[in-house]
Structure 1
Amino acid sequence: MDNAKQHIAIDIAKQGDLIVKIFEYMDSPCKSHTANDTPRQSASFRVEKSKLVESSRYFDTMLNGRWSESGSDTIVLHGDTIKSMGAWFCCFHSLYLDSLPFRINIADIRNVVLVGERYGFKPEILHWQFNKWWEVVSLDTVDDFHKPLLPSYYFSHAKSFKDLTKSLVYRSNGYITHEHPTSPHQTKLPARLIPQLNSIKHELLRELHRGLFGPTEDLIVMSRSCVNIIVSPYLSELQQVNVKLSDLHFPRNINRNLNALAKFNWADVLS
């Protein structure tokens, strides 16, 4: 069955003794497929059989057990993504991900985790690659901080986990949520993590509101002249730099107001 729309051949190990054919479908890697389904694309990876066997009990059983693939120099896998399998194959052979003819991006990392869980690959094998990948990631280019959060937890990558949880607290709009995997065999975030992040976000917004408006309430109580001399210009300057009172209540975006406050000019208030 080689009726995929696109096919690429990749030599992970030029002297490899095993060909792994991957047939990827529109909904890969979420559903099982058979030879009767039409793949979106396919790839053939040349690898060292021993590397694959050492890295997974699943493939050890397939290639050295009583499966039909045992003793074969070619195996076929349906439903995995080409990029995710390529990432693991690179790591098994101590190669960098940039040796692949395609780029592994944020969306692909989630599939890398799913494939690793499916075949029982050890996360620590890919930790150094994930670390190298994260070093060049700019948080300003991440459109959804949820996507790499589970992979960072799966790979036990402390820096990315810290960066992402902080970004969720400061940059997310609305309540922080997370869609947990339905399979009991898939990695899940700690149950209390998301509630704790929402609690932290709530407290930070309360502190920001208290810091901005607490002193003005005291001045208003003191005298009307304070209102005219200080409070009114102060509130006008907040409005001028686009700090919105409505954004200081949970679950608003904290970073938006912090960026606005960076433009605040006390000289305009006191002039």
Structure 2
Amino acid sequence: MSTAHRPRRSCLYMPGANARALEKARELPADTLILDLEDAVAPDAKAEARGAIAAALKAGGYGPRELVVRMNGLDTEWGHADLEMAVAAGAQAVLAPKVTGPRDIERLGAALKKAGAGPDFALWVMIEMPLAILNIKEIAAARIGSHLTTFVMGTNDLAKEYRARMTPDRLAFQTALQLSVAAARAYGLTAIDGVYNDIKNEDGFRDECEQGRDLGFDGKTLIHPSQLEECNRIFAPSPHDVEQAKAVIEAFADPANAGKGVLKVGGKMTELLHLDEARRTVAMDEAIKGMAG
């Protein structure tokens, strides 16, 4: 599957210290599993959790799900061992916390190289510090020649650092969210929205997913399996969108329209720029169906 068109609608955090959760994850309809060694694991359980994740990764059985290990920071006593385990055990990526600038990407890249990570091994980073927002362009630009592929918003940490209130409209974080999407798009990165904390508030969760999709995020991080179905639905192209995308592709492929830069498709004025988006929509729809099949 093309990395560019790999679905990342739902990125579910799974606590590395919970062996039952790691086992259950093999059956969950998540596009990505983030096996967590950082926030979800107490300091005295870090080493045991690392061993549990290593065993789970080596055992396999996760099917098409993308496997990412959220490591502890390189400045902690656990970070280097977490990263080395992820590379050796067969994860597809590590998710590094609390990056603040391009120097962090360089350090992580050097550690990955030392650990023997191949060119397809990906670096995901948490965007959760105020300095990361101020340096977001430079962090994104560091992807050139590096393993960096993905931004993950850490809205809980941002709220703490901002001393901001978590309101339903996420007013305090709109600048951070939009700048992160802009930087990701400018440098060809994937952008994943932050978590929604109120597990039982289905309406609130749906509204926040819709907002994230409207802002341009590729998917959302989740904290509970009950959030998967709705998240997958919202971040997938709708049947109407796919039908319209196919109509756009067919219209521009019609020899009668050769050389035309603007067409009317389904009653809408459609330009060549819409053709690129249509192709991406159809490719994503096919990739999602491929995972389900």
Task: Give the alignment's TM-score, normalised by structure 2.
Answer: 0.31
Q: Which has the higher contact order (CA 8 A, sep 6+)?
A: 2
Give the number of the structure whose residues are more often strand, by fraction.
2
Which is higher, the Rg of structure 1 or of structure 2? Answer: 1
Task: Give the alignment's TM-score, normalised by structure 1.
Answer: 0.32
